[in-house]
Structure 1
């Protein structure tokens, strides 16, 4: 299973909450990432393509999309990192992969009840 963020979600992912726009981290997490993770079969991984048509990511997008999975209690950090495989062709995107891993590892499992932000 695969999610190509630039091709399937937005070439301009930005913002933390729905209220920040349609391409927010919350929108990506709730509408793309979580549904894909929940469909995985045992032993399967979700490949996430970071760099197809995308110039950059903001920290608010990445922390909400990926760290939010842990923070809101969907998956703990170890489980999430075992379920995803982050890929890119442009080596500059190694920085964003590292940021995702950091946000996931720094998030405290189930520390905040999820309440959808306003759109």
Structure 2
């Protein structure tokens, strides 16, 4: 099983914000399309560490993670097998991410 780890604050931005690419270079759409989808395609498990950022807005999280189901045709079941999250600073954000994945319609 191929696994990779990603620290958003180091590999993407300490200031992730916005939903769409038009909202800026560190939006949920940019994160999803340019960083997350390639890792999900290349690895069986992607462990994402959310610590070290200045927070995550709901539009960023919904687009980055719910968008995997809505736009990119990953199933919820596949994502539950492939994604792992760590966020010591605010563990409730992990619940929020799973909510966006589980309620998205593909």
Query: Corresponding residue for 1:18?
Result: 21
Q: 1:73, 1:37 → 2: CA distance?
A: 11
Query: Corresponding residue for 1:56?
Result: 55
Structure 2 residue runs of 5 or longer lacking an equivalent are none
For normalisation by structure 1, the TM-score amounts to 0.83
Query: Corresponding residue for 1:47?
Result: 47
Q: Which runs of 4+ in 1 moved over 6 A?
A: none
Aligned-residue RMSD, C-alpha: 1.0
Q: CA deviation at 1:70?
A: 0.1
Task: Check if 1:107 corresponds to 2:101.
Answer: no
Q: CA deviation at 1:74?
A: 2.8
Q: 2:55, 2:5 → 1: CA distance?
A: 20
Structure 1 residue runs of 5 or longer lacking an equivalent are 110-119
Q: CA deviation at 1:3?
A: 1.3
Q: 1:74, 1:39 → 2: CA distance?
A: 16
For normalisation by structure 2, the TM-score amounts to 0.92
* Larger radius of gyration between Structure 1 and Structure 2: 1
Q: How many residues end up aligned between the 2 structures?
A: 103
